[in-house]
Amino acid sequence: MNKLINRRGFLQGSLVASAAATVSLAKKSEAATFEGYPNAMGVLVDLSRCVGCRSCEAACNKEQNLPAPAKPFNDFSVFDEMQHGQKRRTDETRYTIVNRYDIPGREHPLFRKIQCNHCQEPACLTSCFVNAYTKTPEGAVIYDPDVCVGCRTCMVACPFYIPTFRYSSAFHPRIMKCVFCYDTRLTKGLPPACVESCPQEALTFGRRSDLLDMGKQRIRENPGAYVDHIYGEHEAGGTAWMYISPAPFEQAGFDVTVPKEPILNYVKDFLSIVPMVLTIWPALFAGFHLLATRKDKMEQQKKNENEGEV
């Protein structure tokens, strides 16, 4: 827990003032080894078990008091909906979505549930300039609408296209995203509503480290039944929600180009030059100024001396 604070402390220092950055340089090595909260919870999604019943969508809608959808949750024609050539995605009326993927050569289609993956080092959190996001020790990435300015950088930064914006409101806009049922369930030790509603046990709630073991075990014990990869173990630096799949992940709509390290790592190059510019520029350009105007000054001085003599 302390380690995360130190890491943020380091980055804050490098931005706010160069002095702060030099002091906290020593913490850098520590920050690089941050591996997430030890007791953070997560969910393992087994695509081979999901039948696309949409119970999780319905449970989420009810739990989070979201508006009623245009089509009821037992209407499976939604799987054929396409927008801009894309399957359904999260938006301001739904925090989770199940999509169907017909994979050539497979007898049954695969269904993928999409929701916030609750990253270990969330890009939304690190890109937010008003600290509207928090990664809780329980593993949830939660959002505070009271400080949000509505700049939507988190939506740009999220590699999974999860946060959505309430564009429909002029006076009460906000980010809408899955919060792992943090306040209503997670803090009480309960699994999120979607997990509880799953009739297929496709979703398993537990400590993230245990879920990783469980996923590896399932892959090991059922040779040929799964692709040997847990999506979310390393993606974007590791996520609380993880997936195992019987087919290659890209065929089930996953973005496999998502980096295997925290998004923040890509931003560090810039962050590291900030203290340098702040300290070197003033001296450098003041020096240029003195050099460039030296001749004028000398001439001025000569003139004054001459005038003094006359």
Q: Which of 30, 39, 167, 217 binds other proteins (CB under 8 A)?
A: 167
- Site pattern 209..228 for other proteins (x: CB under 8 A): --------------------
Closer Cβ to other proteins, 123 or 242, answer by number: 123
68 near other proteins, judged by CB under 8 A: no
Q: Does 76 bind other proteins (CB under 8 A)?
A: no
User: Which residues 256-285 are close enough to bind other proteins by CB under 8 A?
Assistant: 257-259, 263, 266-267, 269-271, 273-274, 277-278, 281-282, 285
Q: What SS3 state is found at 168? A: coil
Q: Return the residue matching tokens 């929701």.
A: 115
State in angstroms the smallest separation of the CB of 121 from other proteins: 11
Place of tokens 């999604």: 45
CA distance 244 to 226: 7
The count of C-alpha atoms lying within 13 angstroms of the C-alpha of 148, restricted to the half-sphere facing its C-beta, is 25
User: Considering the rule CB under 8 A, would residue 12 count as an interface residue with other proteins?
Assistant: yes
Helix axes of 264-292 and 2-16: crossing angle, nearest 10 degrees: 30
Residue 292 lies near other proteins (rule: CB under 8 A): yes
199 lies in the site for other proteins, by CB under 8 A: no
CA dist., res. 260 & res. 77, Å (int): 35
Check if the beta carbon of residue 61 is closer than 8 Å to that of residue 194: no
User: Directed axis angle between helix 264-292 and helix 294-309, to 10°?
Assistant: 20
Residue with smaller CB distance to other proteins, 149 or 225? 149
In this chain, which stretch among 57-65, 111-119, 167-175, 216-224 interacts with other proteins, using CB under 8 A?
Answer: 167-175
For residues 186 and 181, give the distance between their C-alpha atoms in angstroms, rounded to a whole number. Answer: 6
* Cα-based angle 250, 192, 55 (whole degrees, multiple of 5): 65
Q: Which residues bind other proteins (CB under 8 A)?
A: 8, 11-12, 15-16, 84-86, 89-91, 123, 126-132, 147-153, 155-157, 159, 161, 163-170, 173-174, 255, 257-259, 263, 266-267, 269-271, 273-274, 277-278, 281-282, 285-286, 288-289, 292-293, 296
